[in-house]
Amino acid sequence: MGWSMAIAGAALVLVVLRDVFHTLWHPTRHGGLSRLVMTAVWRLSKTSPRRRATGLAGPLGMAAVVATWSLTAVLGWALVYRPHMPEGFTYSPGLRPAEHAGFLDALYVSLVHISTLGLGDIAPAEGWLRIAAPMESLVGFALLSATVAWTLGIFPALGRRRALALRISHLVRTRPATDQVDADAGAEILDSLASDISVVCVDFLQYAESYYFHDGDDAISLARQIPGAMKLADQASAARHPDVRMSAAVLRAALDDLAAILDHRFLRTQGGARQVFAAFARDHGYSEAS
């Protein structure tokens, strides 16, 4: 019974470490546990009639993921320690081992080690437990470092996405005529826009959790503004200038790639780019594409 509990605890710890690895350090995969938590928070926020709730989904989802990682790791290590209490631990004077050998005490020991506090009132005494406890401290330090790295990575990705949306908004609001697009300057604008969309594609692959952040203002919402880039590509595809037509084709390819990523990872419409972008807009609270 004791070893089966310890094996179950070790399995929980490995699940957490695997999820952290696939969420933060493997750019083409998305952690299963973190994805479930982020998706649940996102869907829950959409049940609220208040738009502010959707705006909080991303930050709250990240906090929930970190809490899930931490609590699961704490529970896992507690299951490892519990079968060996009190025999495998030393207790400070004033503590009766028989009174501090329950599951809550194992949770306490796990919390002390994962937070790297090292209070020392209950300390491992068996040889392998003296190795396991510092390893838990290393896991706690790794979770803290991973959380900081995650935060520092995801918010620049959000900034790039919102800057792209704002740029598309500027282009749409200027209402460029066909002869204005059909020029060298038009080709340069299309190429630059395709490059920015490619960067956002990578951001969605590497920081998939950024999808669950609501952008708030319409002008900086990619879900709201991306149809404008489709219209611009359609307009430029009929240009006489061969460079403009080539740039329009590149822009359309970048838009198709973005739609494929959104559909494969989040929307599952199995439709074309226009259908995917329409679903993207609806999922972010916009009933009509702009």
Taking the C-alpha atoms of residue 121 and residue 119, their distance in angstroms, rounded to an integer, is 6
Tell me the pLDDT tens digit for each residue of 214-255: 887 899 999 999 999 999 999 999 888 899 999 999 999 999
Question: Six-digit token pair at 220?
Answer: 């900086």
pLDDT interval class at 139 (50, 70, 90): very high
Backbone φ and ψ of 271, nearest 5°: -110, -170
CA-based nearest residue to 211, from 268, 171, 138: 268
pLDDT at 289: 45
Q: What percent of the chain lies above the pLDDT cut of 70?
A: 95
pTM: 0.85
Q: At what angle do helices 242-262 and 184-206 cross, to 10 degrees?
A: 20
pLDDT interval class at 290 (50, 70, 90): very low
pLDDT at 192: 96
Tell me the pLDDT tens digit for each residue of 155-186: 999 999 999 999 999 999 998 887 888 888 88
For the beta carbon of residue 248, count every other beta carbon within 10 angstroms: 25
* 209: Cα within 13 Å, side-chain hemisphere: 32
Tell me the pLDDT tens digit for each residue of 5-55: 889 999 999 999 999 888 888 766 556 888 899 999 999 988 876 666 678
Residue 144 burial (10 A CB sphere; 0-12, 13-18, 19+)? middle
DSSP β-bridge partners for residue 89: 124
Element of type H or E holding 123? strand 122-124
